[in-house]
Structure 1
């Protein structure tokens, strides 16, 4: 029996248990208890009149990358539905959506829920971000003859190899995608090799996304609390990297009195664990969720909130990007580079290798391998703010030069927009 058929039968069989599973996840803080019905395809908003484009991004990064396209659709008078899959992404994206865009949680990938969702929203065009390949959703969209476009598409070599090993291969699924608009030539070649029929390189949408915002009142309070102290930030950290950041702080504080280290973990719920780790090292640690602004004597400040990255990046001139020392893949350095931060990272940045290579060529990013080299790089930059600012400006120039993907993507999907306009007459 084909794997996709097995998957479909399995999701149908598990459908009666979805309500209980969602309720359990809500108790764990992994679902929004007020909006659980959206996860089974029940809309909490009316469908707007006229043409509607549905854009989906699973998590924070993928969904924020869609903002430039959302703006362009709205400017053209097209209604926009945006779906995300996590509580954190919903909070961040809703705060940044322009007027005229509607947010919903994406339904679970079960045929009944997907059909319910599509019957209500009836999108004219469907855009999925990066590597969102949900079989039942793709099948249902294709059956309704809705154009399905994968935008900002990316796939790593490892993921492509896993897909290729699946029984029957991924060709039956990817063949239902009308157009695949890849970030780079490597991802384009992998999608073609997996069976996507039409692939084009359009660049990375994340270069076109405005930097994360920070309200002026909140920013003034935050910078006022820090004062003239030297400060750096380790952001989107994963387990093990916080210990390295703390060790780097210990090595630096002898030479940089009053140093403030900000740690913003990828999973904010780990805030208490990280603060305890710092206290065990003999440091005064405070958490944003419990203690508010940094205190005068705070040494390790755990930024365990969602949606405040713009605040942190406007405060720290040098940033270490997580998931690059103790975990593989890395996180995108585009946001700190946009705000003029010097970027440090570990060796494991294969998911964003091309971006880090561009930054390294421009001397806007530097690689570290452990607490000792991290401390050494921080010492080099914090001791000379002009050097740090020069490195930050070089990064801002790089990301500005690499923009333009949103314009290329809109040009690529223009025939689908034109066809939907004709069908509305």
Structure 2
């Protein structure tokens, strides 16, 4: 039962949201002006639907950003094969575009409603989901309580709990228990994640492994890949991917340190492509000659940096190299998913701040497929070593591919955990009359 302190905390959270409504509205307007919200679809954030709700069972899947969305793709496809409609919500423009490029019309996409009761009521009244699945660490108090009030099962899949989140929730243990006890099931990535969720009040909890080991990247355009490879020619390459502020300049400094010995091309793929203009300006000021993918620029003999400022083309950039530094780990913290470059055949370098992906990095490092660096100078030495030592580079690549293979199996374990919730919806879908448009949608 919810304690008094938890009730007061949730009531305070709810009323703070009501009080902040005008501020939130203004903030969304600012984000729209900056391209961080789709102006034409901003009403979806307030729970207004922009697509029809099909008849039959519907599962609401929420994934915050591109990485979480990509991890959910195999699970969404498995659910869709059962004849169940999937409503996918995401929180960013980049993840929305990625979702539409990966899933197409077979999945309904909407922006996730604000964690405010009016928006949630409007959203749930319209879509009436039979089941809600949230990816990784998406914990929104009002959303959890609204689903609970409607007796809609809600499950956290591919769940992880970072050190920072665990410390924060532990300080508010009564509130965490009051929230997490509403989850019908938590399917965790690791034993550590499982333990943390149980300590915070979630039951039952299963361990599946990481769904990100199941989800490959969209295939690169073969013609574009061949054209870029021809433009690069025999010049050695390395990539800094999923970079955050400061890491692009670090990559430029690595290039400068190595340019006296190697005529290399440095590929930089920022985590947020909307930063491309400011990144290009900073790189130009640092003396780099930049070609941008979004402009269709060619890689010329004097090009030093190829800026991958597009969405959904990570496989293209990774196939242009065999060495990948994974960002948000050197000048920022938390890390980004290292499994994608591993499965694409890259030796991995990373800064040490990778708490959000600790288990993946531990397995990769243990098998010899990832190396950690402390600073720019150490990164430069690592890049140079791998560029000039083909046996060592290929040994890391082979170890990475083997590690990803060992980590697979999370999808089947997740589906087994979801069976009690999915099977009744599958039977309901099979009993529903189907129209030709549904049959042609691939569901």
TM-score bracket, shorter-length normalisation = over 0.9
C-alpha displacement at 1:310, in angstroms? 1.3
Asked if residue 112 in structure 1 is aligned to residue 115 in structure 2, the reply is no
Distance 2:127 2:224 in 1: 37
Aligned mate of 1:51, from 57, 63, 77: 57
Which whole-Å CA distance do the structure 2 matches of 1:283 and 1:72 have between them?
45
Superimposed CA distance per residue, residues 108-127 of structure 1 (whole angstroms, 9 cap, x where no aligned partner): 11111111111111111110
1:249-301 C-alpha deviation (Å, 9 max, x unpaired):
112112112x1001112222332333333333333233333462322210122
How far, CA to CA, are the matches of 1:125 and 1:285 in structure 2?
47
Of 53, 66, 80 in structure 2, the residue corresponding to residue 74 of structure 1 is: 80
Matched, 1:14 2:20: yes
Match of 1:266 in 2: 271
Contact 1:345 1:367 in 2 (8 A): yes
Give the structure-2-normalised TM-score: 0.91
Tell whether 2:67 aligns with 1:61.
Answer: yes
Partner of residue 434, structure 2: none
Partner of 1:295: 300
Superposed CA deviations along residues 330-356 of structure 1, whole A, max 9, x for unmatched, are 111010001110101111212212211
Residues 1:28 and 1:210: Cα distance change in structure 2 (over 3 Å): same
Q: Give the Å deviation of 1:16.
A: 5.3
Counterpart position of 2:169: 163
**Is the CA contact (8 Å cut-off) linking 1:275 and 1:300 kept in structure 2?**
no
Match of 1:240 among 242, 246, 249: 246
Deviations 1:152-203 (A, max 9, x none): 1100222111112127331111111110110001011111111112111111
Secondary structure of the 1:250 match is helix
Match among 363, 366, 380 for residue 375 of structure 1: 380
Check conservation: 1:330, 1:350, Cα contact below 8 A. yes
Matched position secondary structure for 1:80: strand
Q: Which moved more, 1:11-20 or 1:71-80?
A: 11-20
Aligned to 1:23: 29
Query: In the superposition, relative to structure 1, how do residues 167 and 148 fare at CA in structure 2: closer, same or farther (>3 Å)?
Result: closer
Residue of structure 2 in register with 1:3 after alignment: 9
**Is the Cα contact below 8 Å between 2:83 and 2:426 reproduced in 1?**
no
Secondary structure of the equivalent of 1:164?
helix
Name the residue aligned to 2:437.
none
Decide whether aligned partners of structure 1 residues 387 and 171 sit closer, same or farther in structure 2, where only a CA change above 3 A counts: same
* 3-state SS of 1:5 partner: helix
- Aligned mates of 2:69, 2:360 — CA distance in 1: 19
The answer on whether the counterparts of 2:84 and 2:425 sit within 8 Å (CA) in structure 1 is no
Which fold has the larger relative contact order, with Cα–Cα distance below 8 Å and residues 6 or more apart in sequence?
Answer: 2
Task: State yes or no: 1:172 paired with 2:184.
Answer: no
CA shift at 1:17, angstroms?
Answer: 5.6
* Unmatched tracts of structure 1, length 5 or more: none
How far apart, CA to CA, are the structure 2 residues paired with 1:358 and 1:191? 22
Name the residue aligned to 1:326: 331
Q: Is the 8 A contact 1:346 1:367 kept in 2?
A: yes
Mapping of 1:296-311 within 5 angstroms? 296-311=301-316
Residue 361 in 1 paired to residue 375 in 2? no
- 2:417 paired residue among 409, 412, 418: 412
Q: Which moved more, 1:274-283 or 1:13-22?
A: 13-22
Q: Give the secondary-structure state (helix, strand or coil) at the position aligned to 2:175.
A: coil
After the TM superposition, which of the residue ranges 119-128 and 1-10 deviates more from structure 2? 1-10
Helix, strand or coil at the partner of 1:97: helix
What's 2:290 paired with?
A: 285
Residue 211 of structure 2 corresponds to which residue in structure 1?
205
Aligned CA distance change for structure 1 residues 305 and 422 (closer, same or farther; 3 Å): closer
Structure 1's 381 and 8: CA in aligned 2 closer, same or farther, altered over 3 A? same
Q: CA deviation at 1:419?
A: 3.6
Count of aligned pairs between the two proteins:
424
Q: Taking structure 1 as reference, are residues 5 and 423 closer, same or farther at Cα in structure 2, changes over 3 Å only?
A: farther
Which position in structure 2 is the counterpart of 1:339?
Answer: 344
Contact 2:291/2:299 (<8 A) preserved: yes
Aligned-partner Cα distance in 1 for 2:288–2:203: 56
Conservation of the 8 A alpha-carbon contact between 1:53 and 1:81: yes
Question: Which residue of the partner structure matches residue 398 of structure 1?
Answer: 403
Root mean square deviation, CA, Å: 1.9
Question: What's the secondary structure of 2:227's corresponding residue?
Answer: helix
Could you tell me which runs of 5 or more consecutive residues in structure 2 were left unpaired when the two chains were aligned. Answer: 432-443
